[in-house]
Structure 1
Amino acid sequence: MADHGRQNLCYNIKNREAEGTGGAAMNLQTAIVEDSKPDAERLKQLLKKAFENENISCSCFASGDEFLRAGWREGYQVVFLDICMEGTNGIETAQRLRAADPDLLIVFVTSSPEYVWDAFPVHPFDYLLKPYKEEKFEQLAGELRRVLCRQQPELEVRIARQIVRLPLTKIYYATAQNHYVRVVTDDGECRATANFAQVQEQLQTQPEFLVCNRGVIINMSKVLRFEGDCIEMLDGTHLPVRQKDKNSLLAQFTQYQFRGMQREF
């Protein structure tokens, strides 16, 4: 991780508290699959406005085929799908997505209400009719926010005398440091006043977390390579592997990767 990314997370937390927002902003990855560029841009603007206080990313794809080739493996939480498109249409695209990820939130967009019933079997989260109405979109954004806040697992720790919730998807690893736990995330690193066993218990509720050594737990989705004696993370950090359990740890990591490949195909 670059040095500028290793900011003291406590500073950011204090700033949010002073601003009255409290807690960490929600991380939201969205995709728009739409063959009309003006419609895609309008939808993107509405998303940015509705989630202006969140960490939102929005990627656009011009067809269902393009999205299935390049985009759908990127961990999107919400996908906006135009129903009527050349090639693989929105409903066919949604069927592929639903088979791979039952929890994905799919929002269909269309200018023809009669297609709504055709989309019903893939259990979409909602529908948007074109042209988009800002009032309707704000209502949809509120419903999405409530669902996503429940979906995102978080690590709850005490930092600088404040209870903070860190999204598990952003955590690289955590290590024990005397009476503290050092947690490294996409946003930087922080020192939590916590018992390592308590942090480990919270993190291991998710299948991507692995204890690779005494006082070291990693997020396997953030691993670059398993080198035998150590694990190299995506930020360049090398973490030691418990030698007596090396083969077992490698097997668990390989199984995790295999499960990820199965979800992709």
Structure 2
Amino acid sequence: MIRVMIVEDEEQIRIILKKMIEKTSDCEVVSSCGNFATAISDFLRLRPNVVFMDIDLSGESGLECAKAITEVDPKVKIVFATAHSEYMANAFEIYAFDYLVKPFDLERIGKTLGRIKSMMEEQSSVPQGTKNESARNDAAYEKLIIRGKEEINLVDTRDIIMVERTDGMCRIVTKDEIFLTTASLSSIQEKLDPEIFMRCHKSYIVRTQAVKKLETYGRWTYTVKLKDTNETALMTSEKYNEMKQKLAL
């Protein structure tokens, strides 16, 4: 059972959210409150797995409330549910699991809770001594914030196939979309899980499990064919040997 807490200063919104959340199987709202102090008190007492948090709590900061909660328990999943889309980037800097903008959509909430349920089931199979560290790492690497001139994109790192540095930009390739950013390849690499992604060339990062074929390209380099995209990357022979060791090929 997923235990959920709602922190929202408008009572009617709390009621609506509670009904929507409890339409998802195996989800129970254990607390519904409207201010910073009660949120902290209820969290310490009830220890929910998920917190749906508004940004503005009648003048108090939902961001600061979320920070305080995650300091108590880094494993908790924070889902910001708010009318304030302009705080999205700030929210993900504290490893928010998701950011929902009013008016809320039942299907969207269901998908968010479904992903959380899947993650919790996966983590339950991790040996006891490594669970806390695993949870912190999952949160830290989950979202990549891509800032554009007029928009901010939040890319799920699990969707990224490769990243290419070209013409002063980085191209972030997913199965369905390509995102462009002026951020450096090194700064993007820092935000990706090194157990999943490899800097295979000075201009490329690839998801290791997405590699399906290597073709010789010069004496010390390979062309990398990838799953779910027609894009290709380059890999040095040194990185090829490193990948072989990692995958025990």
TM-score, length-scaled by structure 1: 0.45
TM-score, length-scaled by structure 2: 0.48
